[in-house]
Structure 1
Amino acid sequence: QALLFVTQSPSSLSTSLGDIVTLTCRANQDISNFMAWYQQKPGEVPNTSYRASGVPSRFSGSGSGTSYSFTISRVEAEDVATYYSTMWLLGIGLRTSGRTNSQCS
């Protein structure tokens, strides 16, 4: 079985309040939608970035196969964090695949 890896971009970004931001993640093979995005604020543990109660509606994720994206439709100051693309592997569990450090001005 080929080694599974992904590439997340950008690795860092600087944005302004109200902007639209999109992060992308590409895998080297089909991961059958077992992709999730997590947000980690300074001094806190990672939290699911979408598909969970309490997650802002301005957060959305999409994709399939080998290409995935995560979008913040209107950036707010509280969105400054590190964002991780992650994959679930059967029998192994959660694997961190990439990260993006964000700043807002």
Structure 2
Amino acid sequence: MAWTALLFLLVTYCPGSLSQYTLTQPSSEMAWAPLLLVLLTHCSGSLAQYVLTQPPSVSLSPGQTAQLTCSGDNVASKNVYWYQHKVSSSPLLVMYNSRSRPSGVPDRFSGASSGNTAVLTIIGVQAQDEAVYYCEVWVTASSSHHSDTVRWGSTT
């Protein structure tokens, strides 16, 4: 019965495994071992938590440059996505694969990553850029989501 709980946990946290394997009820406890070995091999690392760190907010005046950071272990080797979420709107993808900008996103938005840090830069911020910006990093079959909030200071 202990094998059943572990198998359920692996199947739950390893997307795609059910489409590749047919699960049948083994006649004994030891019969679970080969299937668990296959799932553990196929899902290596998928149960590990990938941790991202971001500052909670950035306050700027219009015209300044915003740099939002997203830090994680060797994040530069991962696919980093940035989303802009304005109040009463759906999130908008503003950067993908760390540095690629979807069509329609102004060229004042740029992305970069190196080592443990990914950066979304907004040059010459405008009032319409006020939003919550989400950093998303894809790690194998699972993903980690964290967010930065940009808040605007008063102009002086």
C-alpha contact (below 8 Å) 1:6/1:98 kept by paired residues:
no
Alpha-carbon distance in structure 1 between the residues aligned to 2:134 and 2:152: 15
Superposition CA RMSD, Å: 1.7
Alpha-carbon distance in structure 1 between the residues aligned to 2:52 and 2:64: 26
Greater share of residues in strand: 1
* Moved >3 Å (runs of 4+): none
- Which ranges of structure 2 fall in alignment gaps of 5 or more residues? 1-44, 96-100
Percent identical residues: 37
C-alpha contact (below 8 Å) 1:80/1:104 kept by paired residues:
no
Q: Which position in structure 1 is the counterpart of 2:74?
A: 30
Amino acid at match of 2:65: I
Shift of 1:64: 3.4
- Which ranges of structure 1 fall in alignment gaps of 5 or more residues? none
Q: Which position in structure 1 is the counterpart of 2:152?
A: 103
Amino acid at match of 1:36: Y
Q: Give the structure-1-normalised TM-score.
A: 0.84
Q: Which position in structure 1 is the counterpart of 2:113?
A: 63
2:107 is paired with a residue whose SS is: coil
Q: Which position in structure 1 is the counterpart of 2:11?
A: none
Say how many residue pairs are matched: 102
Match of 1:74 among 97, 113, 124: 124
- Seen in structure 2, the aligned counterparts of structure 1 residues 65 and 34 have a Cα distance that, compared at 3 Å, is farther
Alpha-carbon distance in structure 2 between the residues aligned to 1:17 and 1:101: 12
C-alpha contact (below 8 Å) 2:58/2:66 kept by paired residues:
no
Alpha-carbon distance in structure 2 between the residues aligned to 1:84 and 1:24: 10
Q: Which position in structure 2 is the counterpart of 1:88?
A: 138
